[in-house]
Amino acid sequence: MQSTIMEKNQKWLLKRFHGICGRLGMTPEDKLNAISGYGCESSADMSDKDLMDLCFKFEKQLDPALAELDATRKRVFAAIGSYLEFVGKESSPELIKAVACRATGYDTFNRIPADRLRNIYYAFTKKHKDFERSWKQMEELLCIKK
């Protein structure tokens, strides 16, 4: 039973991959060049993870909004991670996602819309800058070093 599920998943990914390649107008040579980057000669030889990565890469070419959303998510990760590091807390991807979800009220990080992600990004970068400024002022007043 499990092998048939994996086979169906592989078949679905291959269909998705070739559909995206068709929409991009890729020639068989273009496909082969993309696949050879993963050390394979055929898309059927690729692992599910590699196929998903390649599909996502090509989908970003089809839909610039998807690429923008991905970049915004990465900015949010960096902003929250930088803030947590500055205040002396350990950060992990799970913690950063939890902070972002709590800040927006969403249950899942990937469901947070782009405008809310931008709001979080600016909030945490502003908060970080405010803390840095206030820390510098404290150092000057108290003549201490970090």
d(CA 108, CA 98): 8
**Minimum mean pLDDT range among 21-25, 43-47, 141-145:** 141-145
Number of domains forming the structure of the chain = 2
Shared-domain flag, residues 24 and 7: yes
Chain segment 24-61, per-residue pLDDT in tens: 888 989 888 888 888 888 888 888 898 988 888 888 88
Structural domain for 44, as ranges: 2-62
Shared-domain flag, residues 91 and 115: yes
d(CA 55, CA 18): 9
pTM score of the predicted model: 0.61
Shared-domain flag, residues 98 and 45: no
d(CA 92, CA 80): 10
Tokens found for residue 102? 């709590």
* ∠ Cα 56 62 64 (to 5°): 90
Shared-domain flag, residues 78 and 125: yes
- Which residue did the predictor score with more confidence, 109 or 142? 109
Q: In terms of DSSP H, where are the helices of the chain?
A: 2-24, 28-36, 48-62, 64-86, 93-104, 114-142
Chain segment 64-109, per-residue pLDDT in tens: 888 888 899 999 999 999 999 988 888 899 999 999 999 999 999 9
Shared-domain flag, residues 76 and 135: yes
Shared-domain flag, residues 107 and 53: no
Q: Which of 7, 97, 21 has its CA nearest to residue 57? A: 21
Query: Distance between the two ends of the chain, CA-based, in angstroms?
Result: 59
Torsion of CA 27, 33, 36, 37, to 10 degrees: -130
> Of 14, 37, 62, which residue is a domain's last?
62
Q: Is it the case that residue 144 has pLDDT exceeding 70?
A: no
Q: Which sign does the torsion angle of CA 128, 134, 138, 139 carry?
A: positive
d(CA 22, CA 135): 55
d(CA 37, CA 19): 19
